[in-house]
Structure formats: structure tokens, C-alpha cells
Amino acid sequence: MTRRESPVVTIHLSTPEETEGLAQALSGHLGPGDVIGLDGELGAGKTFFVQAACRSIGVSEDFPVRSPSFAVIHEYPGRMPVYHIDLYRMRTTSEISDLGLEEYLQGDGVTFVEWFEKLGDPKPDAYILLCFEILDERSRRVTLKAEGARYEEMVRRTVAAFAKRLRRPG
């Protein structure tokens, strides 16, 4: 069975506040079992995005959201559990498979995976992938790609909610 090509949406983020707004718009649609992949070079804003999403999901300020580069996986309590996985230091697919990520990717919380491309195959059947590109010190281009009909609808609703936030007088 072949997968059909998923729609791709590209958004230009001019400020860190817009990045937070996109994270908030997406996290309003997330539920248990959702998987969000993040790719992009170091410093592109992946962890910043996850921090904003975590706050929107209800992770308390008592739990500092940091990149789990050394621990690989951080878990946070919110309105649902949040699993933050960072595969940056993983060198081989066997190292990654030894982590037992299936429990997280199919778990009772939302899972954010930084350096998603390192996950290899098979990837989850359905997910959203955000690819961050640095344009300058403050600006980023984020490409959102959905795998699975539910996630395609989630991207559409996220983009609409984000656009509405941008139009709101500040």
C-alpha cells in the first residue's frame, strides 16, 4: 500500500512570540497518543516550541522544560502527560530502538520528538512533522507536514487558529 502525499504548510515566524503562538495553536488540538516530530538545525527553535506547547498543555512552571539531550527523554505532567524526546545524541538506529520509544509513541500522553529524522523507519503511522529553518536571529520558517487524515485536519485547524491570533489586536 502506498501513502498518498500529505499537504505541506509553510509559515514564516517573525518573532519568538509568534513561535509561542503557533505552539499554543497546535497544542490546543493535541490529545493522548499524538506524536509531534521536530526537525531543524541546532538553535532553530525546536525546544523553544516544545516549551511553549508544554505551558499551553498545562505543564506547571515548577517543571522547567529543557532539552533532554543528555537524558534523552523527559516526562512532564499537564492536562495529559507530555513526553519530550531528543534524539540528537543518538548515533545508530539500534541505539534508538533500545530506548523502547513505542511506549511513548503509543502512550497516554502527547509525545514531542526532536531530531525526528533520526527515528528512522518505521515511523508512527500518523504524526505531524515541523521542520524549523533559521532565517535570521529572530525569524524562522516552519514547515508543517501531516501524516494521517486526523493530523491533516489538525494542521488545518492549527493554521486557522494561528492566523486568527495574528489578526487579533495586541
- pTM equals 0.89
List per-block mean pLDDT (blocks of 10 residues) for the chain, which spans 170 residues. 69 95 96 95 94 93 75 87 90 73 82 90 88 95 95 95 77
Edge-to-edge strands, sheet with 82-86: 8-13, 140-147, 127-134, 35-40, 110-114, 82-86, 73-76
- State residue 20's pLDDT score: 95
- Could you state, in order of their start, the residue ranges of all structural domains in the chain? 8-167
pLDDT of residue 165: 81
For residue 89, the model assigns a pLDDT of 80
CATH no. for 8-167: 3.40.50.300
**What residues have CB less than 8 Å from 85, skipping those under 6 apart?**
68, 72, 73, 99, 101, 104, 111, 112, 113, 114
Please tell me the predicted confidence (pLDDT) of residue 3.
53
pLDDT of residue 67: 74
User: How confident is the model at residue 69, as a pLDDT?
Assistant: 61
* Model confidence pLDDT, tens digit, residues 109-154: 999 999 999 887 778 889 999 999 999 998 999 999 999 999 999 9
Q: What is the pLDDT of residue 1?
A: 44
